Structure 1
Amino acid sequence: MHAHILLSMEGARFTPLRPFKPLVERLDATAEAHPQRINLWLGLCTIVVMSIIYYCTNRLAIWHGMTWSIPIIDLIDGRFLWKWSIIPYAAFYPILIWSLIRPCRNVEISKDRLAVFEGVWTLVMWSNLIFLLAPNTVPITDLVDTTWKNEGGLTGWLWLALDQADEPSNGFPSLHVSIMIFLAIEMSTRFKPRSAPVILMWLTTTIIVLSTLTTGQHQVLDLAGGIALAMIAARSILTSEDTIESSGSIGGKRGLEAP
């Protein structure tokens, strides 16, 4: 077992596009002996670590006051704020948590499951480096009246929780957008095209992506940055040579499941 791990680590090469590849290969090499690492504990550790990192970079702008502003796209940014959009915006969090802690399906191999983790880790690392070096402000809520945030009820509570937990300095690129799109692409590689799970996932992703605009948390260019990162991560991780070999398929399709 130890020799197998060493060989796996020797074959792994660090690259900016796949910075966690050596760790993923080591986890894959020990997956059979320690399946619980992937099924639950890895997800819980990921949630805790990414929350701490995000909290620190989110408060960085307050500490040093060095921020920049994303150009506002007229007639779109800040013009369509809607109080109910906080519900799909907040739905991102349970979706992310479930994708990280859910047990492996019977048809999944460890490399398929680890692709989700590697994608989330990579997007979180890339995004937080940008947040760290160039935190930005999101002034679009000043463009319209948003007093309805204080109306109470479910939406009022969600708005209050968001305002207390999230400073508007981690806008570009949008992690909501990049992670949701990556998860949707990853699911599309496992299920048949136009199957119910794929359609539902892409519909959910679209609603959550649009909600980032209608909550005033992000601007159009934040979405563009998130989409770009998701596409780069998906191309680097989901269609990589070793991922294709793990399923014996071509073009990155990793063992298509029936709906």
Structure 2
Amino acid sequence: MNPREWLSKPLPIMRHAWSRREWLGGRWFYVEIFVWGFLGVAGIYFVINHLIANYGSYGWSPEISLDSKIPPVAWMIIPYASLYLLTPGSIFLHPLTDRGRVELLLALQGLVLLTAFHGIFFVLFPADIALRDQLTPEILSYEGIFGSIFGLIHTIDNPTNAWPSLHVTLSYIICRVMTIWLDRDYAETTWGKPLKWILWINWVLLCASILTTKQHFVFDLVTGLALAYSWWWLIEPGFSAIKGMDDSEIDLIFEQ
């Protein structure tokens, strides 16, 4: 089967989640979304991250001279950390229709499979992101708002899982899906267009922040962008197919 065709349809396990979407007045659906997101994205990432950090060995380093020339910027930890708000944000933003819910399900499926694909690189090509010593003493004191966020991230996220940057790929896919909703379902609102501008400006800052927070190499950014665009190309047909459907037609997707 063509990969685009395979990734553009809900997988069997996601179809089971869809069949239970009305449980508990529709609330159970979001419980499953949360569990899948927690286990399939955060779970995969942090299990690999801690296994490599504690038991793995590092091979080729993608570091280049430019990496050490990029200055650390404390406030850029805010757009960097915004990824952790984007994922739950998509749950709050999605349209409360069957079309919106199945788009949320397809987005989740794409993010879980994307994280698993990243895991192959993280395991086969582990890299030590030895850049944190370039941060300023003020940042490394872990005081104040910015320092506290750095401290939290440094505590839970070991400097491995380098490339491609999962920060870049996950945020790009989420922003693309949220843009569909903002353009189609919230175009007539006063906040739809401003939110879309904020979303994409923040994404650009997020991409830059993986370098200025010394969390990633330039190589990680480049490969992350390449994978982000490629992954969206793979999963986009599913969203295009749903775009012209109304709620009465959505169930047909799960019968194909």
Q: TM-score, normalised by structure 1?
A: 0.76
What's the counterpart of residue 51 of structure 2? 60
In the TM superposition, structure 1's runs of 4+ consecutive aligned residues that sit over 4 Å from their partners are: 13-17
Q: Is 1:131–1:172's contact at 8 Å kept on the other side of the alignment?
A: yes
What's the counterpart of residue 242 of structure 2? 246
- Deviation sequence 1:176-212 (CA, Å, 0-9, x none): 1111111112223333399333222111111111111
RMSD: 2.9
Q: CA deviation at 1:14?
A: 9.6
SS in 2 for 1:71: coil
State the identity as a percent.
Answer: 23
1:235 aligns with 2:226: no
Once residues 235 and 145 of structure 1 are traced to their aligned partners in structure 2, the CA distance between those partners, rounded to angstroms, is 36
Q: CA deviation at 1:15?
A: 5.1
1:205 aligns with 2:203: yes
- Deviation sequence 1:19-39 (CA, Å, 0-9, x none): 96333344345545673343x
Unaligned stretches of 5+ in structure 1? 1-12, 250-259
What's the counterpart of residue 138 of structure 2? 148
SS in 2 for 1:137: coil
In the TM superposition, 1:1-12 aligns within 5 A as: none
- How many residues align? The count is 232
Once residues 180 and 77 of structure 1 are traced to their aligned partners in structure 2, the CA distance between those partners, rounded to angstroms, is 25
Greater RCO, 1 or 2 (C-alpha within 8 Å, sep 6+): 2
- Deviation sequence 1:103-159 (CA, Å, 0-9, x none): 7423561322212212211221111222222221112334x3531221611122112
The letter for the 1-side match of 2:65 is: D
Q: CA deviation at 1:235?
A: 1.5
The letter for the 1-side match of 2:242 is: S
What's the counterpart of residue 175 of structure 1? 166
Unaligned stretches of 5+ in structure 2? 246-256
CA gap of 1:98–1:183, structure 2 versus 1, over 3 A, is same
Q: Is 1:77–1:220's contact at 8 Å kept on the other side of the alignment?
A: no
Q: Is 2:61–2:128's contact at 8 Å kept on the other side of the alignment?
A: yes
- Alignment counterpart, residue 13 of structure 2, candidates 19, 23, 30: 23
Once residues 103 and 145 of structure 1 are traced to their aligned partners in structure 2, the CA distance between those partners, rounded to angstroms, is 35
The letter for the 1-side match of 2:84 is: Y
Once residues 23 and 142 of structure 2 are traced to their aligned partners in structure 1, the CA distance between those partners, rounded to angstroms, is 53
